[in-house]
Amino acid sequence: MKLKTLWLTVAALALITINATAQVGRLEGDVVKRGTTEGIPGAEVAIVRTDIKGNYDVKADKKGHFLHAGVPYVGTYTLLISAPGFTPSYLSGIKPAQGEGLKVELDPGDGHKITMEDLKRAGGGAAAAPGAPAPKQLSAAEIKKQQEEYEKAKASNEKAKSDHETMKKVFESGIAKSNAKDYAGAIADFNEAAKLDAEQYAIWANLGLALYNRGVTNLNESLKGDMSKRDAAKQDFTDAAGAADKALALVEKDLGDPAKAVDAKKRKATTLKIKADAQGLMAKRLGVMEMVDPSVKAYAEAADLSELPADKIKYQLAAAEVYFESGKAEESVAAYQKILEANPDNIDAMYKLGLAYASVAKFQESANTFQKFLDTAPATDGRVAEVKTVLKDLVVGNNLQPPKSEPAKKAAPAKKKP
């Protein structure tokens, strides 16, 4: 079930009893596609009185439901049902006393209509149109069986509608609590919503985000000295990644649909970030080293899905940072180098690469990279003063050759108008 208004494919039956002395009765039911509860909008129902002459035609509504509340109660009727694109069918021997909650199933066909003359010529068992399948005459037992199936389907749909409405309210409550930073309350609501409908991408994605945010809160508390929060943070991050995986499994279903693929790619990238962030913090802050590679992989997938260059670099930088802050300096050097190969003037990658080189004792490379950072970054960048100090210490402390400043790039001359 998707997070949208649930369309009931069967209509509610009228719970009305007819007094035996009433002069008029009602014929009511639904026209649906064979083997489903999906109504056929606009199906035509010709109600023909067979004990004496009389016609009472109606048309089904947009849900396939039809109703005629003014047929003579004492009559006996045959219903001729047709719809464009379907083979016609009929019910005979129907009386208003049994004519509520009827269900008619149609098979695909040429959409032709049948008349009482067609039935007479076919001996009551076939339509007259050449090559058309015969409309099926239902026995009283078959009508009863179909009615039981119809009632069961109706009850199931009504429960699904009720569950869906409850799920929406609980989900919206979770969003409100999450916005108010009541992450524990939001997590409880999203978990309750998932019990009602586990096929909702939005529930799992928002649950993952709420778990991640609570994990960050617990991590910050542990860094302040409350070490009891450390394990709680680890569990929240683990659960956040698990919720993200469930969201990813659901969004995969939309990637193959051209109408949904663009939005699905964005949702997948966003969800991969939730997963990667959670796993990355476990690696960087909690020392769970087995989370390094999964986090980097998730960031890489998010980068591949992103259409905007800025987003691609953002995810690539995040992956490189997981390597660097987890102590995998050599891997971080390679990651930052790869970013700069495609984006030579990216000052964030330059700054981090300078730090990464220093961490693996490649001091000259570090100094050269920091000098390039100073040549490229605007003077207003808050890291400039820090890098100047670090660069001086690198050169003096390691007896390095001072790196040469690169000449500023000249702006291309403006083209003259023809």
The structure's pTM equals 0.62
* Residue range 169-211, pLDDT digits in tens: 999 999 999 999 999 999 999 999 999 989 999 999 999 999 9
Within 13 Å of residue 308, how many CA atoms lie on the same side as its CB?
6
DSSP assignment string, 146-161: HHHHHHHHHHHHHHHH
pLDDT band at 10 (very low <50, low <70, confident <90, very high): very low
pLDDT band at 298 (very low <50, low <70, confident <90, very high): very high
Locus of tokens 């076939």 = 126
Residue from 214, 205, 165 nearest 185 by CA: 214
Q: What is the pLDDT of residue 276?
A: 97
Mean pLDDT across the chain: 83
Q: What is the pLDDT of residue 316?
A: 97
Within 13 Å of residue 149, how many CA atoms lie on the same side as its CB?
15
Question: Which of 3-7, 50-54, 57-61, 337-341 is modeled with the greatest confidence?
Answer: 337-341
pLDDT band at 406 (very low <50, low <70, confident <90, very high): confident
Q: How far is CA 300 from CA 251, 273, 311, 335, 339, in A?
A: 18, 10, 11, 11, 12
Cβ contact 102:47 at 8 Å: no
pLDDT band at 95 (very low <50, low <70, confident <90, very high): confident
Put residue 56 in one of left, alpha, beta given phi > 0 → left and psi -120 to 50 → alpha: beta
Q: What is the pLDDT of residue 21?
A: 32
Neighbouring residues of 179: CB distance < 8 A, sequence distance ≥ 6 = none
pLDDT band at 96 (very low <50, low <70, confident <90, very high): confident
**Residues above pLDDT 70, as percent of the chain:** 81
Locus of tokens 């997590």 = 187
Query: Does the pLDDT of residue 328 top 90, yes or no?
Result: yes
Query: Does the pLDDT of residue 307 top 60, yes or no?
Result: yes
Who wins on pLDDT, 377 or 260? 377
pLDDT band at 357 (very low <50, low <70, confident <90, very high): very high
